[in-house]
Chains A and B, each alone.
Chain A
Amino acid sequence: MPKLYSGAEIVFKCLEDQNVSHIFGYPGGAVLPIYDELKNFNSVKHILVRHEQGAGHAAEGYARSTGKPGVLLVTSGPGATNAVTALTDAYMDSVPLVCITGQVPTHLIGTDAFQECDTTGITRPCTKHNWLVKDVNDLAEVMHKAFEVATTGRPGPVLVDIPKDIQFQKAKYKSYKNKKKLNGKSHDNYSQKNIDELINLIRKAKKPIFYTGGGVINSGTKASELLRELVYATGFPITSTLQGLGCFPADDNQFLGMLGMHGTYEANNAMYSCDLMINVGARFDDRITGKIDEFSPKSKKVHIDIDPSSINKNVKVDLAIVGDIKSVLTSTLKTFKKSKNNFSKSNKHQISKWWEQIQKWRSKRSLDYIGSEETIKPQYAIERLYELTKDKDTYITTEVGQHQMWAAQHYKFNKPNRWMTSGGLGTMGYGLPAAVGVQIAHPKKLVIDIAGEASVLMTMQEMSTAVQYNLPIKIFILNNEYMGMVRQWQELLHDKNYSESYTAALPDFVKMAEAYGCVGIRAKTPEELDDKIIEMLNTDRPVIFDCLVDKQENCFPMIPSGKPHNQMLLGPKDQKEKKITGKGRTLV
């Protein structure tokens, strides 16, 4: 007779079979049987967080920096509802997560039992799929299916809700069979004809641009390599979304910087004026497109994406190629090389005028800011942080707001999976727990959370987690005492009515660091900034770095709401020189 395992054991056997080495979690009544088994499975290490949202973001950081699914384990009721923000965040940014929740015993479901909530009901709109396991014989299959759904197609979060009695009941364990096809849900759905069409468009283009996104990173490091190869071979300019940063080297001349609401002048103008736009794994988000009716009006648009529902959702495209970026780029390069050996030479001539135009836009130097010798400018702080860390293989996470945009603009990423930020949902409090997850996955690497003082307070309790596991994460706070992005919008759009955007009673972050048992460092002047950053980098313990920055600084360039790409607001330096025209000026 085959051996019988309890539901709790089956959970761990599945995790083992899926090569899960770390899970992030928080115990509670409805998951105690699972926690009881933890001691018997040494290959799975549990990281105890301080709040379930932290477990979710840590798992996201783990997943985004490794390409493997992140796993979290939380209890029923409040445990599950606390994880909802992280699940929604992962859903928006296509991060593979497997969330295991405890549930009250099956006979109590529906009775408003203690710590009961309709977990599968609540999480249905923020997961790719979820399961309530009502029979222990289904558990193994559901667990393996959960991993499959989370990691195939467009990745995303899934949830498995396991009632407590199921965790105790016994069943046979069915091991994992690697199925090739998933119920028709994985989509490599393009033909050579599509690729030929793409090559034909590439050949004809006079003003082309690559517009790349997080899909490239989700497709694996090989996809980034292939992308680089294709971009170099064509000689085309390339811009990236917030989530795509790192898939192409930011210090390369062909890279125009990030596009979108706070993107560079050259990237946005190139998007507006191009005649061929090749979207690789991006989703025409509203922060990217600005006013849809006037989005890149003269271009042929190509969209390469694994998710068929992303095609034509916001912007109609002329050529859709539905498939995994890696495989599409492989086919494209193959055809490209075959069809035109000396293509790149002739083509470079064809697009030389376009590059001249781009250089003109570039000469605006739209990321410039007015420096200061008295106060630390936030952009300066990020520039210095970049200069002092660029020789290390650094992983950056962020919170959400001005500091996030400055980090995206001024920190140069040259490798994929080094940049973890909450883009779609815009979750303040994401960065600190995400840094915990990244450091767990990469114990020897430098992990920095570029933070704002308002965001970081939302999940500050996870410093305690970092201390417990000796995770030397660096929390680099650009402290301007305001919810900076809120303040900026209020200044520009609400007549400087700074309603509730100032935090009047901030904690002393240095003392707070000490209270947590980590190291606090404060920088007040530009003069001392470098030394303090070096001190932070030389500290092999968690650090909270309180960088006091200019309180009034705004994040530019900026596309005001409802404006197309060619009507950007540039920074104060440019405004002084009275260079910008158009209605946007009235804003400033």
Chain B
Amino acid sequence: MANSKSAYSSAGKKQKLDTHIIVVWVDNEAGVLARVVGLFSGRGYNIESLAVAEVDQKQNISRITIVTTGTPQVVDQIKLQLKKLVPVHKVADFKREDKNVIFKEMALFKFVANNGKLNKAFEACKNFNPVILDKTNKSNVIQITALRREIDSMSKNLKKFGLVSVSRTGAVAMTRGSEIFK
């Protein structure tokens, strides 16, 4: 008791955090992204990456893909709280380990180096569908698509080949097979 001088109880035990990919279909209207993001920040949930764009121009539906971490209880709360927002149509939740779901992220790498290094850089990217989008005699821009953690390690490892700038989209997700999420 001596330690507790608060009107609130002390925090409980720390639980294990899982990474989840939450996909939210929303009306594409003013402020909708702020509602979703504000819900995360206001309730203290994490956002590791976020990707959003309109996917249905006729019905003005946007698809938001959020990578988050949390205990199972927190992830449940995230889903339930999101579903309560008026412009939200549906919410899908995938675990990162889920084999039935494809997770992809696109990155643009800019290298400034001599030709030898630039070639090595392209070589190092070859497992991730590299496309050279721009090339000069001392630089190039390479586009790759890969998993988040692959891009994480690539952006670390490619420094030695003259990587000077990285731009990433954040992960997007889609289920495998003919099924779609309803």
Please judge, given known A-B contacts A124-B35, A124-B38, A583-B1, whether A489 and B7 are in contact too, CB under 8 Å.
yes
Is B81 among interface residues, defined by CB-CB distance under 8 A? yes
Interface string of B13-44 (1 = CB under 8 A from A): 10000000000000000110011001000100
| B86 near A309: Cβ-Cβ < 8 Å | no
How far, in whole Å, are A124 and B8 apart by their CA atoms in the complex?
Answer: 26
**Interchain CB contact under 8 A, B1 and A286:** no
Please indicate the chain A residues that have their CB under 8 angstroms from the CB of B86 in the complex.
128-129, 149, 183, 185
Instruction: Out of A134, A292, A309, A316, name the residue touching B9 (CB < 8 Å).
Output: A292
**Interface hit among B72-80, B150-158, B159-167, B171-179:** B72-80
Contact status A562-B4, CB under 8 Å: yes
- Residue from A125, A292, A313, A584 in contact with B1 in the complex, judged by beta carbons closer than 8 Å: A584
Chain B nearest CB, measured from A538 CB (Å): 40
A291 with B80: CB separation less than 8 A: no
**A561 part of interface (Cβ distance < 8 Å):** yes
Q: A149-B86, A309-B80, A583-B1 are in contact. Are A124 and B9 (CB under 8 A)?
A: no
**Residues of chain B in range 76-101 having any CB-CB distance to chain A below 8 Å:** 76-77, 80-81, 83-86, 89
> Does any Cβ of A come within 8 Å of B10's Cβ?
yes
Interface contact B76-A124, CB-CB below 8 Å: no
Q: Is B12 interfacial (CB-CB < 8 Å)?
A: yes
Residue of B whose beta carbon sits closest to that of A585? B1
Docked-complex contact A309 and B84, CB < 8 angstroms: yes
How far is A313 from B81 in the complex, measured between Cα atoms in Å? 10
- Is B77 touching A125 in the complex (CB atoms < 8 A)? no
**Taking the nearest CB of chain B, how far is it from the CB of A97, in angstroms?**
16
Closest to B30 in A: A132
Complex: A184 Cα to B85 Cα, angstroms? 10
Q: Is B57 an interface residue (CB 8 A)?
A: no
* A120 within 8 Å of B (CB atoms): yes
Does residue B180 face the partner (Cβ distance < 8 Å to A)?
no
B5 at the interface (CB under 8 A from A): yes
- Please, how many angstroms separate the alpha-carbon atoms of A316 and B77 in the complex? 12
A505 contacts partner chain B, Cβ-Cβ < 8 Å:
no
Question: In the complex where A149-B86, A286-B8 touch, is A312 in contact with B76 (Cβ < 8 A)?
Answer: yes
A249 within 8 A of B: no
Q: Closest CB of chain A to B177's CB: distance in Å?
A: 26
* A125 to B85 alpha-carbon distance, docked (Å): 11
| Cβ contact within 8 Å between B12 and A293 | yes
Q: Does B2 reach chain A (CB closer than 8 Å)?
A: yes
11 inter-chain pairs at a CB distance below 8 angstroms, sorted by A residue, are A132-B30, A290-B9, A308-B80, A309-B80, A309-B83, A313-B73, A494-B5, A561-B8, A562-B6, A586-B2, A587-B1
- CB of A515 closer than 8 Å to a CB of B: no
A121 touches B77 (CB 8 A): no
Check B7 against A561 for contact (C-beta < 8 Å): yes
- B1–A312 CB distance below 8 A: no
B9 touches A561 (CB 8 A): yes
Q: How far is the CA of A313 from the CA of B1 in the complex (A)?
A: 26
In the complex, the chain A residue whose C-beta lies closest to that of B81 is: A309
Closest to B80 in A: A309
Q: How far is the CB of B90 from chain A (nearest CB, A)?
A: 8
A189 to chain B, nearest CB (A): 11
A388 at the interface (CB under 8 A from B): no
Task: Please measure, in the bound complex, the distance between the C-alpha atom of A180 and the C-alpha atom of B64, giving whole angstroms.
Answer: 28
User: How long is the Cα–Cα vector from A286 to B6 in the complex, in angstroms?
Assistant: 13
- Evaluate whether A292 and B12 lie within 8 angstroms (CB atoms) in the complex, with A132-B30, A583-B1 already known: yes
Is A493's CB within 8 Å of the partner chain B? yes
Task: Give the distance in Å from the alpha carbon of A149 to the alpha carbon of B5 in the complex.
Answer: 40
Once the chains are docked, how many angstroms separate the CA of A292 from the CA of B15?
14
Hey, which chain B residues are within 8 Å of A149, CB to CB? 86
Whose C-beta in chain A lies nearest to the C-beta of B76? A312
Which of chain A's residues 484-501 have a Cβ closer than 8 Å to chain B?
489, 493-494
Q: Are B81 and A121 in contact (CB under 8 A)?
A: no
A79 within 8 A of B: no
State which residues 170-201 of A face B: CB under 8 Å: 183-185
Cα distance A292–B11 in the bound complex, in angstroms: 9
